[in-house]
Amino acid sequence: MEPVVDLRGAVALVGRFPALAGADLEVGPGEVVLLQGPNGAGKTTLLRCCAGLVPVVDGVARVLGCDLRADRRQVRRRVGLLAHATGLYDELTVEANVAFWGRAGGCRPEDVEAALARMGLDGRLRSVDVGRLSAGQRRRTSLAVLLARRPELWLLDEPHAGLDQAGRDLVDGLIGDASAAGVTVLLSSHELDRAAAVAHRQVEVVGGHVRPVPSADEPPAAPAEVDVEPGGPDVA
Ligand X SMILES: Nc1ncnc2c1ncn2[C@@H]1O[C@H](COP(=O)(O)OP(=O)(O)OP(=O)(O)O)[C@@H](O)[C@H]1O
Tell me which residues touch ligand X (CB under 6 A): 14-15, 17, 19, 37, 39-45, 205
Burial class, 1, CB count within 10 angstroms (exposed 0-12 / middle 13-18 / buried 19+): exposed
How far, in Å, CA of 15 to CA of 8, rounded?
21
Torsion of CA 220, 209, 161, 88, to 10 degrees: -150
Q: Which C-beta is closer to ligand X: that of 147 or that of 210? A: 210
Nearer to ligand X, 37 or 102 (CB): 37
Of residues 14 and 196, the one with the C-beta less far from ligand X: 14
Q: What percent helix, strand, coil does the chain show, rounded to 5?
A: 35, 25, 40
Minimum distance from residue 204 beta carbon to ligand X (Å): 10
Q: 26 vs 204, which CB is nearer to ligand X?
A: 204
Q: How many CA atoms lie within 13 A of 152 on its CB side?
A: 15
Q: Provide, rounded to whole angstroms, the least separation between the CB of residue 35 and ligand X.
A: 8
Q: What is the CA radius of gyration of the chain?
A: 20
Q: How many CB atoms lie within 10 A of CB 78?
A: 19
Cα(67)–Cα(167) distance, integer angstroms: 35
Instruction: Supply the minimum distance, in Å, between the C-beta of residue 137 and ligand X.
Output: 22
Closer to ligand X at the Cβ: 44 or 141?
Answer: 44
Kindly state the smallest distance separating residue 39's Cβ from ligand X, in Å. 3
Identify which of residues 40 and 212 has a Cβ nearer to ligand X in the complex. 40
Rounded to a whole number of angstroms, the minimum distance from the CB of residue 54 to ligand X is 9
What residues contact 28, with CB distance under 8 A and at least 6 apart?
A: 1, 3, 4, 184
Least distance (Å) from ligand X to the CB of residue 215?
22
